A = this chain, B = another copy of it.
Amino acid sequence: MDRVFNFSPGPATLPLPVLERAQKELVSCGGHGMSVMEMSHRSKMYMEIIEAAEAELRELMGIPDNYKVLFMGGGATMQFSCVPINLKQNGKADYIVSGSFAKKASQEAAKFLDVNVVASSKDTNFNCIPDLANAKFDPDADYVHITTNNTIYGTRYTKLPEVGDVPLVADASSNILSEPMDVSRFGLLYAGAQKNIGIAGVTIVVIREDLIGRAAENTPVMLDYKTYADSESMYNTPPCYPIYIAKLVFDWLKEMGGVPAIQAINEMKANLLYDYLDNTSFYHATAKKADRSLMNVTFTLPEPAMDALFVKEAAENGLVNLKGHRSVGGIRASIYNAMPMEGVQKLVDFMADFEKRHG
């Protein structure tokens, strides 16, 4: 096995058992004499896959019955448009800007309604979740939008904002399924699959039923949540194979013990890395301690000039994709559900060795 440890922020590493199962079933799946890739989306065999994917996600996340699960294309970015288009009523929405995806979401929404940025951590280069003490939420806003985990900056909400009756909408692309989330606190949750769910090409939307059906008449059909809700995401051909991979990931996560069990592992992985970072002056963890992400660990070396060497030597040791995002520099280790403890341990060992040689 020549596998590397892949710290990519997304598309990201997948559980090896998922890849091995996909490989085994690739040419012919389940005695059907064809690949999942070749199955008619309306066939019984494929319907079983998409229905199982939904049922398992409902079980894993504890999704209440009054929420629909939608499988959409277009990436999480398409949701930046879908959310305002579908939820617009009074024509205004509150956004908390905690990173560059949150900012992009707010800018896209401004095409469709009045956006009120109630809080932002831009001034500290998004190294924390904005302080909400003085945030003025509009009780007439159509929704409040947050980004539960900020992939680029390595921060996450540890506590949800109190928004009263206004629907809370969350981009959970980079921490869905990493720790329990109380779905009933949200009006809508969305996540691109290419981090904790599976592969790029499908985005999952979990939406409270009463929020469906509000889009204007002239909404593009594939952007209207009602299109998906009314057809079980089968109005047209869904991204069948990405949904199948999601199902395999859900199978794997259930076998791992579900979300609480993976949360415990995620905390061990993150703690190993953060404890190491905190105990050396060579490396510096960039995110505010209270808001540290379990999924994306961002840090710097003594000099930005050392970044390239670190990334190169790490890759030579089978630890790849550690370069921080171009907008912040430094190093980022994305350690999603599928990254095993062994990978994080190997990274810490490498970091200690690198420090010894270059400190």
- Given A16-B27, A239-B239, A321-B43, the answer on whether A37 and B245 have CB atoms closer than 8 Å is yes
A27's partner among B3, B11, B81 (CB-CB below 8 A) is: B3
Hey, what's the 0/1 contact readout for A61-89 against B, CB within 8 Å counting as 1?
00000000000011111101110010000
- Given A35-B19, A112-B218, A241-B199, the answer on whether A236 and B76 have CB atoms closer than 8 Å is yes
Q: Is the CB of A81 within 8 A of B222?
A: yes
Q: Give residues of chain A (222-261) contacting chain B, Cβ–Cβ below 8 Å.
A: 222-223, 235-242, 245
A8's partner among B22, B38, B111 (CB-CB below 8 A) is: B38
A2's partner among B33, B78, B221 (CB-CB below 8 A) is: B33
Chain B residues with CB under 8 Å of A218's CB are 111-112
Determine whether A201 belongs to the interface, using a CB cutoff of 8 Å to chain B.
yes
Q: Give residues of chain A (25-44) contacting chain B, Cβ–Cβ below 8 Å.
A: 26-28, 31-35, 37-41, 43
Q: Is the CB of A33 within 8 A of B3?
A: yes
Which A residues are closer than 8 A to B by beta carbons? 1-4, 6, 8-14, 16, 19-20, 22-23, 26-28, 31-35, 37-41, 43, 73-78, 80-82, 85, 108, 111-112, 192, 194, 199-202, 217-223, 235-242, 245, 318, 320-321
- Can you add 17 more A-B contacts, CB < 8 Å, to A10-B40, A74-B74, A74-B222? A2-B33, A4-B34, A8-B38, A8-B39, A20-B27, A33-B318, A73-B75, A73-B239, A75-B222, A75-B236, A77-B221, A77-B236, A81-B221, A108-B220, A111-B220, A199-B241, A220-B223
